[in-house]
């Protein structure tokens, strides 16, 4: 039944070609990006979640101290 519904749609045969083209261009672009990307930049980006930022650490410390001071003992 589904085949008959799809066959009755005019121009339906172009959609698989369009989706394959998008798929192919995306991965071709990704491969090109990987080969021309700056290795140092990629390494720095991969290390970002692992290293603490000095400004964030100072802010967290100040918030922790303010929270501690605001408690009623």
What is the full per-residue pLDDT of the chain (73 aa) written as tens digits?
A: 677 777 787 888 888 899 999 999 999 999 999 899 888 988 888 888 777 765 555 555 555 555 555 555 4
User: Would 3 be classed as within a structural domain?
Assistant: no
User: Would 29 be classed as within a structural domain?
Assistant: yes
Confidence (pTM): 0.50
The number of domains in the chain is 1
User: Would 8 be classed as within a structural domain?
Assistant: no
Q: Which residue has the tokens 């085949």?
A: 3
User: Would 43 be classed as within a structural domain?
Assistant: yes
Structural domain of 57: 13-70
User: Would 17 be classed as within a structural domain?
Assistant: yes
User: Would 31 be classed as within a structural domain?
Assistant: yes
User: Would 45 be classed as within a structural domain?
Assistant: yes
């Amino acid at each position: 039944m589904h085949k008959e519904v799809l066959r009755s749609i005019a121009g339906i045969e172009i959609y698989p070609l369009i989706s394959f083209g998008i798929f192919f261009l995306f991965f071709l672009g990704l491969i090109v990006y990987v080969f021309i990307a700056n290795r140092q930049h990629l390494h720095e980006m991969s290390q970002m979640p692992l290293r603490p930022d000095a400004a964030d650490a100072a802010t967290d410390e100040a918030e922790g101290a303010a929270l501690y001071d605001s408690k009623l003992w």
